[in-house]
A = this chain, B = another copy of it.
Amino acid sequence: MTVHQHGRYSTPVEDLPSRAVPEAAVGRLAIYLRVLTSMIEQGVTTMSSEELAGAAGVNSATLRKDLSYVGSYGTRGVGYDTAKLVEHIEQLLGLTRHHSVAVVGIGNLGHALANYGGFPDRGFPVTALFDVDEDLVGIPVGGLPVDHVNTIPEVCAEREVTIGVICTPASAAQIVCDLLVAGGVRCILNFAPVMLQVPSDVEVRRVDLAVELQILSFYQARRSPGPRAGAAPVDPVAVIR
């Protein structure tokens, strides 16, 4: 019944394996992982903290601290072995197991996610699609047939779904969330603009595009106090015509 959408700084009673890893660090580790795999494809076998930090857009000290959560797998005077580092980060992030994903609400956004190839490639196979619309049930989207929302609990348990993605209208999000939880899903990615009520052992992450746009709007408003848009300071490349 606890409400704790974001703002989780690892549980107060911290007796879990290895040091507590700050959430911000976890997010960055995921980025390092992407940079590293990209570099490995280009044949790079070793990177210094400075190089990797530059590519990821963070401070090199921050990067080294983040990597220290993973363990000491660098070589002083040389840098990090890219392949080894990828291996250890994947282990910390739990990416050695595949995480089966269910998408609920196959509308505009649900279609996009179901058709997206980037998730299976990264170890997140989409194994279930759900919608309440009878016309959609049975139709394959991205090669996978849509099931009815009523079957969420059974199907999720059966296919061992670990991550549920909610793409329904806001009004249906809580009901769908409850069904996912009933199906044993304890990780939820929520695109609907509502705060979900979940048991304390369920982790919810919210992606709120409207909020992102409004934050951008705020900075835009801060920059140009006058009502007209043209009052830019100086931007050599933005000179039009």
Q: Identify the A interface with B (CB < 8 A).
A: 3-5, 7, 16-17, 21, 23, 26-27, 30-31, 33-34, 54-58, 92-95, 97, 99, 101, 108-109, 111-113, 115-116, 118-119, 122-124, 153-154, 157, 160, 162-163, 178, 181-184, 186-189, 193, 195, 199, 201, 203, 205, 207-223, 225, 227, 229, 232-233, 235, 237-238, 240-241
Known contacts A31-B208, A187-B217, A203-B219, then 6 further A-B pairs from the complex at CB < 8 Å, ordered by chain A residue: A27-B211, A181-B238, A186-B220, A189-B213, A205-B212, A205-B215
Q: 6 nearest interchain CB pairs? A: A94-B221, A187-B216, A108-B112, A30-B214, A57-B195, A30-B211
Closest B residue to A53 by CB, please name it: B3
Q: A57-B3, A108-B112 are in contact. Are A212 and B207 (CB under 8 A)?
A: yes
Query: Do A240 and B184 have beta carbons less than 8 Å apart?
Result: yes
